Amino acid sequence: MHEGVWKALSDPTRRAILDQLRDGPKSTGDLCACFPPLDRCTVMKHLDALVQVNLVLVHRQGKVRWNTLNPAPLVEVVLRWVSPYAIGVTQLAMAFRQFAESTQTEQSAKENES
């Protein structure tokens, strides 16, 4: 399942569509208007790829198709693949900060002694 999400996110147009949906649902027509160089068929293909991996949920209201961002698959990917690495980076950054602060404190103490 995660492979499909990564593949969907690899396309810049699909990421841009998700960015557009971040603020709330948009109709397919509204999304097409956000991408003037693309025809409706191309936007629909990108939307369908996002729907297949559950990143976009669709509901219809009469003739209007509403597209909504579903962040759940993104959260799953972050929890599985990003968080374990982020913890190590965070710990390293905190250790560096402590080192820099202790070095600065030692240097200030030496300057005050002079």
User: What CATH number should be reported for the domain whose range is 2-70?
Assistant: 1.10.10.10
What is the DSSP pairing of strand 64-69 with strand 56-61? antiparallel
Q: What is the pLDDT of residues 89-100, one digit of tens each?
A: 667 677 777 877
pLDDT band at 64 (very low <50, low <70, confident <90, very high): very high
- Show the tokens assigned to 92: 């390293």
Q: Report d(CA 66, CA 64) in Å as an integer.
A: 6
The total of other beta-carbon atoms located within 10 Å of residue 23's CB is 8
Contact present, 5 and 74 (Cβ < 8 Å): yes
Q: Indicate whether 113 pLDDT > 80.
A: no
Q: What is the pLDDT of residues 23-32, one digit of tens each?
A: 999 999 999 9
Residue of 36, 40, 15 lying closest to 27 (CA atoms): 40
Q: Where are the domains of the chain?
A: 2-70, 82-114
Give whole-number Cα distances, 16 to 2, 8, 11, 20, in Å: 19, 11, 9, 6
